[in-house]
Amino acid sequence: MIKKGLFFTLLLYVLSGCSHAPDTISTETEKDIRDINTNLRVVVYNDEITDPKDDYRSFYKVFINKIEEGRTTIGLESQKKVFEIYLSPNRHLVHIEKWILDEKNNRYVKVNNVDQPKPDFAYVDVQEHKILELNFSINLSNSASISIDYHR
Amino acid sequence: MFYKLLPTIFIITGLLVFTFSCKPGYDREQEPNNTFAEANDLTIGRPMQGMIDSVDDVDYYKIFVESRSVLSAELTGLRGINLSMKFFKHDSPPVLLKHIDDARKSSPEFLTNVYVEPGIYYIKVEQGARDPKSANTENYYTLRVKTRDYFYEEKEPNDTPEQATEILPGHDMRGYFSPAYNPMNSDDPDHPYREYDWFKFDVQLRHDRPLSAEISISGVPNIDSSLSLFDPDLELITRSEHNRTGEPENLSNVGLTRSGTYYIRTEAKGYMVNYDTPYKLSVNLNHHNPLYELEPNDTIEQANPIKDGLIYGDFGHQQDIDVFYYKPREGPGFYRVELTPSPSINPEMRILDANENTVAEPGRREPGSTVIYPNLHISEYVYFVLSTGLFIPDKSSEYALNVERVEIKGLVDYEPNDTRSEAVRLEDRDIIKGFTSIEGDVDFFLLEFNTRKRIEFEAAGGKNSHIKVSITDPMGYTISEYESKEGRTVTFTEMIDQKGYIIVESILEDYDNPYIINLRKK
């Protein structure tokens, strides 16, 4: 009887111990990240625009390691425009290219190089189990302040 | 001595006999001849001289006609006077048959052809109503009347439907665009004083099976004519009016759908006249072949049915419009439309849906070139409205209109989809097939997702085409565009922010091969 009680106690201990294994959280986070296909989030916005006349609809093409991978969402320059992607853990070169709406021709056009943000690139270290947020905060003279945050 | 003088005596005697026996080559009026009762006898073929010796003078002449014939009269001009003449048939009172007055001073008047039967007729010479009356006591007018045998031609006066000359289908009939004015037609609200020639023919349908009529009138120098056909109630069926001088007019494939007497009217526009050259009027009747159009089919209400996807037609004149409707036996689906014209016309086609909204207007092409519309989607039935820009009266203006079902899986190019608001919703489709339906065709397709999607597009135009494929933001502004020439595949990836449009623009059309766009979510 005592032997049976000890067996169930040990079994309960083993089961409860498994459910609290320290790696479990990490594994689920990685799964979440893979599910949403994101471990790099590029955010671009201009935080100095106050005149609506200067606030064009725009987006940014995003190049990862010199290959075009997509574009940000579309929004006013003053709004945050986001691009998300899942990358292998490594150091990556992220380059952005600004396009604005030419309302006369009903199309988006790439802005001249002199009007592109400076700098328009950043090297980032994508780490396992983390979401890296790369912020390009651009001012009126097209200078970009770059910041990087990691989120678990 | 006597014998020596004998030749001289003969010559003198002969001259005297000739002198006293020779009458002048004309007759001269004997006044008073101011009423029918006082009319001077006029010998057919012998000129008659007369004079308007007072302002109110009128001269009557009596003509005896011995056999059925066609009579003509010529009245020379009289300086400073606007002469006219009236032609009467003897009766009690006499009946006015024709009034000839060109409303001009000093000019001659011609009565080209009036049909007469044995009996007494009168010609009254008087002054026209247009100018103030005057006298001329110095000069004579000359009135010449001739006759010739009647042989199957118009019977003037045939100026009204009641006076219409009967024409036998299959037998050409002659007539004249003469005189220029018909003063007896002063009440015509549209064309006062216009000279009309009316003809009629009888139709008896068997088992109510319609007949198809071909009616034509030859061109006459200096005459811009028109040709009209009226039903037994004298309602206009159709009219040919080329607005060209010296050109023929014709009415083709005109449907005669009930028994009765039909009427034809010919006329010269602008008071044009030709006394010398007759026109030839032809009427031919055939049983209607359902493969051919049946005029009048100028309106939606008169549209001819296309029975088995094929119909032949003919533009009878420059302004002719032919309307057809097609209700496919196979039911709703995509259909290819081909309009094949003869080399001398360049037809235009407008396609209307059952609500009479325009679906498409394939552009006019070179004369003789087939007009193709490769992807007409028919839900219930459609109308085809055909016209031609080029028309050469004495050359063929026939065409064939063919409608054939198209079986292409994935074809979603429901026209009209030329604007954002008309865009075809793609829903979960992963393949788009469409056609460059007309020159410069633009097709809009709408993509909608619950979330932002990254899509790989693989686009290829038809092998003979050149197309541009654009992807837009949710508002329809182009984000990126790619071109495909000669069927080459172009692959690209684009983000769709929950909603976006695919725009396919035609740079070079291919009416035979569809463009294909494959969509793959990444």
How far is Cα A19 from Cα B428, in angstroms, rounded to an integer?
41
What count of residues does chain A have?
Answer: 152
How far is Cα B494 from Cα B383, in angstroms, rounded to an integer?
40
Whether residue B243 contacts residue B249, with contact meaning beta carbons closer than 8 Å, is answered with no
Give strand pairing partners of A42.
Answer: A83, A134
Whether residue B316 contacts residue B240, with contact meaning beta carbons closer than 8 Å, is answered with yes
The pLDDT score that the predictor gives to residue B5 is 63
Select from B479, B492, B501, B521 the residue whose CB has the most chain A CBs within 10 Å, as the one to mutate to test that interface: B479
The pLDDT score that the predictor gives to residue B11 is 65
Rounded (5°) CA angle B357-B359-B360: 135
In this complex, do B477 and A71 lie within 8 Å of one another by their Cβ atoms? no
pLDDT band at B207 (very low <50, low <70, confident <90, very high): confident
List the single residue in A with minimal CA-CA distance to B500: A74
What is the pLDDT averaged over residues B151-159? 94
Model pTM?
A: 0.68
Task: Determine the straight-line distance between the first and last CA of chain A, rounded to whole angstroms.
Answer: 48
Instruction: Closest CB to A108: pick one of B478, B493, B495.
Output: B478
What is the pLDDT averaged over residues B209-226? 93
What digits encode the pLDDT tens for the residues B407-433?
Answer: 998 899 998 899 999 999 998 889 999
Select from A102, A107, A109, A110 the residue whose CB has the most chain B CBs within 10 Å, as the one to mutate to test that interface: A107
Check CB contact of B473 with chain A, cutoff 8 Å.
Answer: yes
The pLDDT score that the predictor gives to residue A11 is 40
How far is Cα B279 from Cα B146, in angstroms, rounded to an integer?
21
Whether B261 has a pLDDT exceeding 90, the answer reads: yes
The residues in B 410-469 lying below 8 A from A, measured between CB atoms, are 452, 454
Q: Which of these, B444, B464, B441, lies nearest to B517 by C-alpha position? A: B444
pLDDT band at B190 (very low <50, low <70, confident <90, very high): confident
The pLDDT score that the predictor gives to residue B146 is 95
- B338-to-A114, B381, B400, B405 alpha-carbon distances in Å: 54, 17, 8, 12
Whether B185 has a pLDDT exceeding 90, the answer reads: no
List the single residue in B with minimal CA-CA distance to A103: B477
- Count of alpha carbons within 13 Å of B337, Cβ hemisphere only? 32
What digits encode the pLDDT tens for the residues B361-392?
Answer: 987 788 899 999 999 999 999 999 999 888 88
From chain A, pick out residues whose CB is under 8 angstroms from the CB of B474.
Answer: 74
- B5-to-B9, B10, B13, B119, B508 alpha-carbon distances in Å: 6, 9, 12, 55, 108
What is the pLDDT averaged over residues B458-483? 95
In this complex, do B473 and A106 lie within 8 Å of one another by their Cβ atoms? no
The pLDDT score that the predictor gives to residue A19 is 37
Q: Which of these, B505, B519, B419, B414, lies nearest to B466 by C-alpha position? A: B505
SS3 B9: helix
Residue with tokens 């980032």: A124
What count of residues does chain B have?
Answer: 522
pLDDT band at B14 (very low <50, low <70, confident <90, very high): low
The pLDDT score that the predictor gives to residue B364 is 74
Quote the ipTM score. Answer: 0.72
Q: Where are the beta strands (DSSP E) in B90-234?
A: 95-100, 109-116, 119-127, 141-149, 165-166, 173-175, 196-203, 211-217, 225-230
Q: Which DSSP string do the residues of A17-55 spell out, in sequence order?
A: HHTT-THHHHHHHHHHHHHTT-SEEEEEEESS---GGG-
From chain B, pick out residues whose CB is under 8 angstroms from the CB of A70.
Answer: 454, 493, 495
SS3 A113: helix
Phi, psi of B124 (to 5 degrees): -110, 125
Whether residue B515 contacts residue B459, with contact meaning beta carbons closer than 8 Å, is answered with yes
Pairing of strands B173-175, B249-256: unpaired
The pLDDT score that the predictor gives to residue B103 is 82
CA distance A108 to chain B (A): 5
List the single residue in B with minimal CA-CA distance to A68: B493
The pLDDT score that the predictor gives to residue B9 is 64
User: Comparing B489 with B2, which gets the higher pLDDT?
Assistant: B489
The secondary structure of residue B488, as a DSSP letter, is: -
The pLDDT score that the predictor gives to residue B129 is 81
List the single residue in A with minimal CA-CA distance to B471: A107
Instruction: Closest CB to B497: pick one of A74, A106, A107.
Output: A74
Select from B473, B494, B503 the residue whose CB has the most chain A CBs within 10 Å, as the one to mutate to test that interface: B473
Task: Establish, for the pair of chains A and B, how many residue pairs have beta carbons separated by less than 8 Å.
Answer: 27
Check CB contact of B210 with chain A, cutoff 8 Å.
Answer: no
DSSP run (H or E) holding B28 = strand B27-28
Select from A106, A109, A110 the residue whose CB has the most chain B CBs within 10 Å, as the one to mutate to test that interface: A106
Compute CA B448 distance to the chain's CA centroid, rounded to the nearest angstrom.
Answer: 54
Whether residue A135 contacts residue A147, with contact meaning beta carbons closer than 8 Å, is answered with yes
Q: What 3 state SS string does B130-168 have? A: CCCCCCCCCCCEEEEEEEEECCCECCCCCCCHHHCEECC
CA distance A25 to chain B (A): 27
Q: Other CB atoms closer than 10 Å to residue B346's CB: what's the count?
A: 17
CA distance A48 to chain B (A): 25
Whether B353 has a pLDDT exceeding 80, the answer reads: yes
How far is Cα B147 from Cα B84, in angstroms, rounded to an integer?
20
From chain B, pick out residues whose CB is under 8 angstroms from the CB of A71.
Answer: 479, 495
How far is Cα B185 from Cα B26, in angstroms, rounded to an integer?
34
Whether residue B326 contacts residue B403, with contact meaning beta carbons closer than 8 Å, is answered with yes
Check CB contact of A57 with chain B, cutoff 8 Å.
Answer: yes
The pLDDT score that the predictor gives to residue A21 is 34
Check CB contact of A106 with chain B, cutoff 8 Å.
Answer: yes
The pLDDT score that the predictor gives to residue B23 is 61
Check CB contact of A76 with chain B, cutoff 8 Å.
Answer: no
User: Comparing A26 with B251, which gets the higher pLDDT?
Assistant: B251
Q: Rounded mean pLDDT of chain B?
A: 91
How far is Cα A57 from Cα A75, in angstroms, rounded to an integer?
5
Among left, alpha and beta (phi > 0; psi -120 to 50; other), residue A139 is beta
Residues 6+ apart with CB under 8 A from B396: B314, B342, B343, B344, B345
Q: What is the pLDDT along chain A (152 residues), one digit of tens a residue?
A: 444 544 444 343 333 333 333 333 334 444 444 455 789 999 999 989 999 998 999 999 999 999 999 999 999 999 999 999 999 999 999 999 999 999 999 999 999 999 999 999 999 999 988 999 999 999 999 999 999 998 87
List the single residue in B with minimal CA-CA distance to A59: B479
In this complex, do A108 and B495 lie within 8 Å of one another by their Cβ atoms? no
Pairing of strands A131-138, A40-46: parallel
What is the pLDDT averaged over residues B383-407? 90
List the single residue in B with minimal CA-CA distance to A69: B493
The percentage of chain B sitting over the pLDDT mark of 90, rounded to a whole number, equals 71
SS3 B441: coil
In this complex, do A106 and B477 lie within 8 Å of one another by their Cβ atoms? yes
The residues in B 492-521 lying below 8 A from A, measured between CB atoms, are 493, 495, 497
Check CB contact of A41 with chain B, cutoff 8 Å.
Answer: no
The pLDDT score that the predictor gives to residue B484 is 96
Whether B162 has a pLDDT exceeding 90, the answer reads: yes
